[in-house]
Structure 1
Amino acid sequence: MTDDVHTLATGFGLVEAPRWHDGRLYFSDWDAHDVLALAPDGRTEVLAHVDSFPLCTDWLPDGRLLLVSVPDALLLRREPDGALVTHAELGGVAAGGWNDIVVDRHGNAYVDNVADAFTGGAPDAGLIALVGPDGATVRQVADGLSFPNGMALTRDGGTLIVAESYASRLTAYDIAADGSLSGRRVWAALDGGVPDGICVDAEDAVWYADVPHRRCVRVAEGGAVLRTVGFDRGAFACVLGGPDRRTLFVTAAEWGGPAAMVPAGTGRLLAVPVDVPGAGRP
Structure 2
Amino acid sequence: MKYRIIFLGIVFYTIFNFYNCTKQEGFPVIPTLFVDGNFTRAEGIAFNGEGKLYVTANKAFWRLDTEGNTTKLVDLYTNLGVAAYGERDLLVADFGPTNRFKHGPNDDGIVWRITPEGEKSIAATGGMGDPNFIAVRNDGSYLVSDDATNEIFIVDQKGRVSLFMDAIDHPNGMVISRDGRSLYVAQIFKSLNPVVADNRVWRVPLDEKGDPAGTPEVIARINGENAGPDGLAMDSLGRLYATVPMRGEIWRIDPATGKKQLIAEGMPGIASIAFGQGDFDRNALYGASTRRGGGRIWKIDVGIGGARLCR
Provide TM-score, normalisation by structure 2: 0.74
1:33 is matched with which residue? 59
8 Å Cα contact 1:88-1:131 kept in structure 2: yes
8 Å Cα contact 2:134-2:145 kept in structure 1: yes
| Offset of residue 254 of structure 1 | 5.8
1:189 is matched with which residue? 221
2:46 is matched with which residue? 19
1:160 is matched with which residue? 183
Tell me if 1:70 matches 2:95. Answer: yes
In structure 2, relative to structure 1, the CA distance for the partners of 1:130 and 1:253 (3 Å cut) is closer
In structure 2, relative to structure 1, the CA distance for the partners of 1:97 and 1:45 (3 Å cut) is same
Deviations 1:86-130 (A, max 9, x none): 2222x23x4x22211111232111001123xxxxxxxxx411000
AA aligned opposite 1:76:
W
Deviations 1:219-250 (A, max 9, x none): 11243123431115232121211456311112
1:139 is matched with which residue? 162
Q: Which has the higher strand share?
A: 1
2:286 is matched with which residue? 249
- Inter-partner Cα distance in structure 2 for 1:66 and 1:13: 22
Tell me if 1:238 matches 2:303. Answer: no
In structure 2, relative to structure 1, the CA distance for the partners of 1:212 and 1:35 (3 Å cut) is same
Provide TM-score, normalisation by structure 1: 0.81
- Inter-partner Cα distance in structure 2 for 1:280 and 1:3: 24
| Offset of residue 202 of structure 1 | 1.5
Choose the corresponding residue for 1:85, options 112, 121, 143. Answer: 121
In structure 2, relative to structure 1, the CA distance for the partners of 1:26 and 1:81 (3 Å cut) is closer
Q: Which has the higher helix share?
A: 2
AA aligned opposite 1:47:
L
Tell me if 1:114 matches 2:147. Answer: yes
| Offset of residue 277 of structure 1 | 1.6
2:13 is matched with which residue? none
Deviations 1:192-213 (A, max 9, x none): 4321111011221111111121
In structure 2, relative to structure 1, the CA distance for the partners of 1:126 and 1:3 (3 Å cut) is closer
- Inter-partner Cα distance in structure 2 for 1:86 and 1:238: 24
AA aligned opposite 2:177:
T
Q: How many correspondences in the alignment?
A: 256
| Offset of residue 279 of structure 1 | 0.5
8 Å Cα contact 1:54-1:99 kept in structure 2: no
Determine helix, strand or coil for the equivalent of 2:258. coil
- Inter-partner Cα distance in structure 2 for 1:80 and 1:40: 16
Determine helix, strand or coil for the equivalent of 2:74. strand
* Structure 2: gaps (5+ residues): 1-27, 97-107, 190-197
- Inter-partner Cα distance in structure 1 for 2:92 and 2:267: 29
1:272 is matched with which residue? 300
Tell me if 1:169 matches 2:200. Answer: yes
In structure 2, relative to structure 1, the CA distance for the partners of 1:277 and 1:143 (3 Å cut) is same
| Offset of residue 175 of structure 1 | 3.1
8 Å Cα contact 1:9-1:268 kept in structure 2: yes
Tell me if 1:126 matches 2:150. Answer: yes
8 Å Cα contact 1:61-1:106 kept in structure 2: no
